Amino acid sequence: MKTQSTKQPTNLVTSIFATGVPTKNEVVMKTPLRIAAWSLLAGLCLTLVAISAAADTLYSNGPIDGYTNGWDIKDHKVSNSFTLTAAMSDVESVHFGEWTEVEAAPSKVTWAISATPFGSDLGGGTVSSLTYTHLFYNGGCCDVWDVSFTFSSIGLTPGTYWLTLSNAVGCGPFMCDGVVKWDENSGAGCQSIGCTSQAYYDDTGHPIPSESFYIDGVATPEPGSLLLLGSGVVGLSGLLRRRSLS
CATH topology of domain 55-220: Jelly Rolls (2.60.120)
* b/e sequence 216-246, b meaning 16+ C-beta within 10 Å: bbbbbeeeeeeeebeeebeebeeebeebeee
What integer pLDDT is reported at residue 122 of this predicted model? Answer: 97
User: What's the one-letter identity of residue 120?
Assistant: S
What integer pLDDT is reported at residue 34 of this predicted model? Answer: 58
Label residue 205 left, alpha or beta by phi (over 0 means left) and psi (-120 to 50 means alpha): left
pLDDT digits (tens), the chain, 246 positions: 544 545 544 444 444 444 455 555 544 445 565 555 555 555 555 544 444 455 689 999 989 999 999 999 999 999 999 999 999 999 999 999 999 999 999 999 999 999 999 999 999 999 999 999 999 999 999 999 999 999 999 999 999 999 999 999 999 988 998 999 999 987 444 555 556 788 999 988 788 989 999 999 999 875 544 445 445 545 555 555 555 555
Give yes or no for a contact between 74 and 101, defined as CB atoms under 8 angstroms apart.
no
Distances in Å between the Cα of 235 and the Cα atoms of 92, 122, 155, 227, 228 are 35, 41, 32, 12, 11
Where are the domains positioned within the chain? Answer: 12-52+223-245, 55-220
What integer pLDDT is reported at residue 227 of this predicted model? Answer: 47
Backbone angles phi, psi at 26, to 5 degrees: -65, -40
